[in-house]
Chain A
Amino acid sequence: MATPSGQSKIRWHVVVFLAPAVLVYTAVMIYPLFNTMRLSFFNRIDQERVFVGLDNFRTLFGDAIWSDQFWNALGNNFWFFLIHMLVQNPIGIALAAILSSPRLRFAALYRTAIFVPTILSFVIVGFAWKLILSPIWGIAPDMLDAIGLKFLYAPWLGKEEYALTTLSLVSVWQFVGIPMMLIYAALLSIPEEILEAGECDGITGMAAFWKIKLPLILPSIGIISILTFVANFNAFDLIYAAQGALAGPDFSTDILGTFMYRTFFGFQLQLGDPHMGSAIASAMFLIILVGVCLYLFGIQRRLRTYQF
């Protein structure tokens, strides 16, 4: 018998179905996130954990030993991000445009081949590229030699001026499949009618891409940019696998992730400092938060989405 009050009864099934996801997410994401922030307000003084307020952040930004490393890591991180934006995403879009061309043969093969590196472990990618580029066993010097360009070869990973760019490009190689797949999906969802209507107006070939397809996939490009931003500022694995926790040569490949790792867990004789490490982790979180907010409120809302 249905009563009017039955409408306002708590819908328990909603709670029950949401609970597993909420609990797991809280336990493995939300709680650690806030606990890390809490930890960054403490420090260990004479074997006691003491609340120190913002002191850790004052040290991080005020003490040259820490702030130099922080700004260096942040600068390197921006360069890392910039290379991805300038190389990975345009190449990803170009590949997707080529793949979506109906005249291309073996499209499925190319698609798979380009996507495969994405599912490889960072350790494998880092190690394989270290070997490829190695001045001793690597095939890079021999290949350049074969086409008479040996003079272009340098031990890239060991030179301050090239190491970060080289690793960024390795990362681009690994992840170019992601923007390619996302854009490819977006391109496939563009209805034929629109393109045909364009053709009637004389827009074909390259012009069709620039004038019709590109505006239609802009929202996808926006999403890819923000995913790249978050992934790059959280990056750690590739640098650690290729150059170790000291991010050599001379910290030229040090990014926020490796800086945080070194501080939090310690390295060789440097003992771990969970409190300063948490302060760096919190700073990273804030940087990513600000970046994402700028994007969401500044760009995403201005992008027009088209309904077909």
Chain B
Amino acid sequence: MLIRTLPATLLASTVLTTSAFAQEAELIIESWRNDDLAIWQDQIIPAFQAQHPDIKVKFTPSAPAEYNAVLNSKLDAGSAGDIITCRPFDASLALYDNGHLTDLSDLEGMSNFSDVAKSGWSSDDGSATYCVPMASVVHGFIYNKDAFEELGLEEPETVDEFFAVLDAIKEDGGYIPMAMGTNDQWEAATMGYNNIGPNYWKGEEGRNALIAGEQKLTDEQWIAPFRQLARWGEYLGDGFEAQTYPDSQNIFTLGRAAIYPAGSWEVSGFNNLVDFEMGAFPPPVPAEGDTCYISDHTDIGIGMNAATDNPEAAKTFLNWVASPEFATIFANALPGFFPLSSGEVTVEDPLAQEFLSWREECESTIRSTYQILSRGTPNLENDTWNASAAVIKGTETPEDAAQRLQDGLAKWYAPQQ
């Protein structure tokens, strides 16, 4: 009896679910974050569906290195998902310009975000925003608390204190003062120049002035970070010229170095590796009492495929992504990737919370080279990697490096000509 009814029941249930699907909207999310697949499936999507049982959501990530190419060809072929995870700046701007992303400026949830947060996914004049800002990474310095206690050191607040701390560690000789290499180049620019720089060029003020052509890379506030970088060289370990990014991570997590110029994305990885206590301090300010600025760099956004069949469902979903509820789930699932919404979010991981707390005390900005300025040839971002590494190694003076970057930028960027 049972055997005979089972197929019938199965058949009936298939028919039922199929008809149920027809009423439901199904949203497919394109993403490069395949590391986050479990987090989406176990935490984020169930939380959304608890509120919107009529909208089904599917997270279908591809490999990070292939994402841009895969997404572009899917969009051109019309087979891309409804929701699109957005890379910041030019890659997504090109999608918007080609009509693949919808303008979301009047989405309700957008009011939860500041202009800096939206800058990664706005048209050049700021009139249209086409992705909901999802996460950013904050730059600063992670340090070995045990080492600091052992040597009786405190978190430096000014540049002078910073170098005093480095001198003290170097004098003691038990630790490499700072773990960073120049072999891979990008750390020198990302964790070096763009980490300490905003304190000199006053964050957004300087960045916008540079884009408008009112300041030049050869102005004092843009050379000063190079001058500081030039002093870093002697505090990095022996043979730092050939030290790679994974080398630096290992040196720090093995407890051989005291300070690590960092991005907050390191937090979850480091938590699993270290057996000492870690602390973090924001980039030191030039003089006591100066306002501090941090690089709070926009990294992940999420937008809507203009060709989607379910625009209403997609907007509902994006509105939810813009809500504080999503922000809290996301921030705690991925400590070190911080939600960009202005609403208060608490992160349970203490180190990540430390990074996040700087948003209260300091002004946020993004990496100076990312918006507009790296569109031409020579590419300003790549040149900044090269120049920062050269300055740290001492093969180029800060002034020459700044001059070279300015010349390169002036070559193609009209406001700087």
Q: Which residues of A contact B (CB under 8 A)?
A: 47, 65-66, 130, 133-137, 141, 154-160, 243-244, 246, 248-251, 267-271
* A270→B379 CA distance, assembly (Å): 6
Given known A-B contacts A268-B381, A270-B382, A160 and B242 have beta carbons under 8 A apart: no
Tell me which of B153-161, B243-251, B270-278 binds A.
Answer: B243-251
What string of 1s and 0s marks CB contacts (under 8 Å) between B299-333 and chain A? 00000000000000000000000000000000000
Chain B residue numbers with a CB within 8 Å of A248 are 182-185, 386, 389
Given known A-B contacts A157-B183, A160-B395, A249-B182, A136 and B381 have beta carbons under 8 A apart: no
Task: Please tell me which one of the listed residues B90, B242, B378 contacts residue A157 in the complex, with CB atoms under 8 A apart.
Answer: B242
What string of 1s and 0s marks CB contacts (under 8 Å) between B209-250 and chain A? 000000000000000000000000000011111111001001
From B367, which residue of chain A is reached at the shortest CB distance? Answer: A269
Q: Is the CB of A246 within 8 A of B377?
A: no
Task: Please tell me which one of the listed residues B94, B242, B370 contacts residue A269 in the complex, with CB atoms under 8 A apart.
Answer: B370
Q: Is the CB of B186 within 8 A of A268?
A: yes
Task: Please tell me which one of the listed residues A137, A160, A246 contacts residue B382 in the complex, with CB atoms under 8 A apart.
Answer: A246
From A243, which residue of chain B is reached at the shortest CB distance? Answer: B183
Is B411 interfacial (CB-CB < 8 Å)? yes
Chain B residue numbers with a CB within 8 Å of A66 are 377
* A149→B115 CA distance, assembly (Å): 58
Chain A residue numbers with a CB within 8 Å of B408 are 65
* Size bracket, chain B contacts: 35 or more
19 extra interchain contacts, Cβ-Cβ under 8 A, other than A155-B243, A249-B241?
A66-B377, A135-B239, A136-B247, A136-B251, A141-B239, A155-B242, A158-B183, A159-B242, A248-B389, A249-B182, A250-B389, A251-B386, A267-B379, A268-B379, A268-B382, A268-B385, A270-B374, A270-B377, A271-B90
Q: Which of B137-183 contact A (CB under 8 A)?
A: 181-183
Q: Is the CB of A130 within 8 A of B244?
A: yes
* A187→B381 CA distance, assembly (Å): 54
* A250→B375 CA distance, assembly (Å): 21
Chain A residue numbers with a CB within 8 Å of B381 are 268-270
Q: Is the CB of A269 within 8 A of B379?
A: yes
Q: Which of B363-384 contact A (CB under 8 A)?
A: 369-370, 374-375, 377-382
* A219→B238 CA distance, assembly (Å): 48
Q: Is the CB of B184 within 8 A of A155?
A: no
From B384, which residue of chain A is reached at the shortest CB distance? Answer: A269
Q: List 22 A-B pairs, Cβ < 8 Å.
A: A65-B408, A65-B411, A66-B377, A136-B250, A136-B251, A155-B238, A155-B239, A158-B183, A158-B241, A246-B185, A246-B386, A248-B183, A248-B386, A249-B241, A250-B389, A251-B386, A268-B385, A269-B89, A270-B374, A270-B377, A270-B379, A271-B94
Chain A residue numbers with a CB within 8 Å of B238 are 135, 155
Is B390 interfacial (CB-CB < 8 Å)? yes
Chain A residue numbers with a CB within 8 Å of B242 are 133-135, 155-159
Chain B residue numbers with a CB within 8 Å of A155 are 238-243
Chain A residue numbers with a CB within 8 Å of B375 are 271
Nearest-CB distance from A7 to chain B (Å)? 54
Q: Is the CB of A159 within 8 A of B241?
A: yes
From A160, which residue of chain B is reached at the shortest CB distance? Answer: B395
Chain A residue numbers with a CB within 8 Å of B250 are 136
Chain B residue numbers with a CB within 8 Å of A134 are 239, 242-243, 247
For B183, B186, B369, B374, the residue with the greatest tally of chain A CB atoms inside 10 Å of its CB is B183
Given known A-B contacts A134-B242, A250-B395, A269 and B390 have beta carbons under 8 A apart: no
Task: Please tell me which one of the listed residues A136, A156, A246, A251 contacts residue B237 in the complex, with CB atoms under 8 A apart.
Answer: A136
Question: A-B pairs with the 8 shortest C-beta distances?
Answer: A135-B239, A158-B241, A158-B242, A155-B242, A155-B239, A270-B379, A269-B374, A269-B381
Nearest-CB distance from B382 to chain A (Å)? 6
Given known A-B contacts A158-B182, A250-B386, A269-B89, A135 and B379 have beta carbons under 8 A apart: no
Chain B residue numbers with a CB within 8 Å of A160 are 395
Chain B residue numbers with a CB within 8 Å of A249 are 182-183, 185, 241, 389-390, 393
Chain B residue numbers with a CB within 8 Å of A269 are 89-90, 369-370, 374, 379-382
* A243→B389 CA distance, assembly (Å): 14
* A133→B242 CA distance, assembly (Å): 9
Number of A-B contacts (CB under 8 A): 98
Q: Is the CB of B184 within 8 A of A244?
A: yes
* A269→B183 CA distance, assembly (Å): 19
* A249→B392 CA distance, assembly (Å): 12
Chain A residue numbers with a CB within 8 Å of B244 are 130
Chain A residue numbers with a CB within 8 Å of B377 are 65-66, 270
* A155→B239 CA distance, assembly (Å): 5
* A249→B317 CA distance, assembly (Å): 46
Given known A-B contacts A248-B185, A249-B182, A158 and B378 have beta carbons under 8 A apart: no
Chain B residue numbers with a CB within 8 Å of A130 are 244
* A137→B246 CA distance, assembly (Å): 12
Task: Please tell me which one of the listed residues B240, B369, B390 contacts residue A250 in the complex, with CB atoms under 8 A apart.
Answer: B390
Q: Is the CB of A246 within 8 A of B182?
A: no
Nearest-CB distance from A266 to chain B (Å)? 9
Chain B residue numbers with a CB within 8 Å of A251 are 386
Chain A residue numbers with a CB within 8 Å of B239 are 134-136, 141, 154-155, 158
* A269→B379 CA distance, assembly (Å): 8
Q: Is the CB of A65 within 8 A of B183?
A: no
Q: Is the CB of B240 within 8 A of A158?
A: yes
From B179, which residue of chain A is reached at the shortest CB distance? Answer: A136
Q: Which of B394-417 contact A (CB under 8 A)?
A: 395, 408, 411
* A66→B412 CA distance, assembly (Å): 13
Nearest-CB distance from B9 to chain A (Å)? 53
Chain A residue numbers with a CB within 8 Å of B389 are 248-250
Chain A residue numbers with a CB within 8 Å of B90 are 269, 271
What string of 1s and 0s marks CB contacts (under 8 Å) between B50-66 and chain A? 00000000000000000
Nearest-CB distance from A38 to chain B (Å)? 21
From A64, which residue of chain B is reached at the shortest CB distance? Answer: B411
From B386, which residue of chain A is reached at the shortest CB distance? Answer: A250
* A136→B242 CA distance, assembly (Å): 9
* A66→B408 CA distance, assembly (Å): 12
Nearest-CB distance from A130 to chain B (Å)? 7
From A133, which residue of chain B is reached at the shortest CB distance? Answer: B242
Nearest-CB distance from B344 to chain A (Å)? 32
What string of 1s and 0s marks CB contacts (under 8 Å) between B91-103 and chain A? 1001000100000
